[in-house]
């Protein structure tokens, strides 16, 4: 994957590899854990889940283009997902879910405009887990 380092507001929940993050409107240039369905502020997935490290890491130390967490902006990464909103199969479009830091299968394509995180490459039938995602923000 192609990642860039960002600061991520942690709040009460831990930011972990595979977490879905969104633009933080309160901190220019920073991100926060996503926590709403169909969030058009979605920015990417924290890289490094299930042993897949960033393939290429961009950034500039000491500038706004620096931070603690590598966030995948494109490429393949494992992502936390919640399949309680629908079984996830390869090829399904993914968006943010109301489960903090998790993605879900797109169920409403009109609402998903601008909130698509990527496309599932593996499946999850039920519950919460990780799937391999081709990150293609739309």
The model's pLDDT over 75-120, given as tens digits with 9 standing for 90+, comes to 999 999 999 999 999 999 999 999 999 999 999 999 999 999 999 9
CA contacts within 13 A on the Cβ side of 20: 35
Percent of the chain whose predicted confidence (pLDDT) is above 90? 76
> What's the pLDDT score for residue 62?
78
User: 17 is written with which tokens?
Assistant: 């590899």
SS3 assignment, position 124? strand
This prediction has a pTM of 0.93
> What's the pLDDT score for residue 57?
87
pLDDT, mean of residues 48-74? 86
Average pLDDT, the chain: 93
Going by C-alpha positions, the residue among 99, 69, 108 that lies closest to residue 81 is 99
SS3 assignment, position 114? coil
């Amino acid at each position: 994957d192609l990642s860039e380092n960002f600061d991520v507001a942690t709040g009460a929940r831990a930011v972990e590899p595979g977490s879905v993050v969104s633009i933080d409107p309160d901190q220019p240039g920073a991100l926060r854990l996503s926590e709403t369905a169909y969030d058009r502020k979605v920015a990417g997935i924290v890289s490094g889940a299930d042993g897949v490290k960033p393939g290429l890491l961009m950034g500039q130390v000491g500038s706004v283009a620096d931070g603690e967490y590598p966030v995948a902006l494109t490429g393949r990464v494992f992502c936390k997902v919640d399949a309680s909103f629908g079984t996830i199969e390869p090829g399904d479009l993914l968006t943010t879910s109301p489960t903090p830091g998790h993605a879900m299968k797109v169920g409403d394509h009109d609402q998903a405009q601008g909130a698509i995180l990527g496309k599932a490459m593996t499946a999850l039938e039920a519950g919460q887990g990780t799937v391999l995602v081709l990150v293609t923000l739309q």
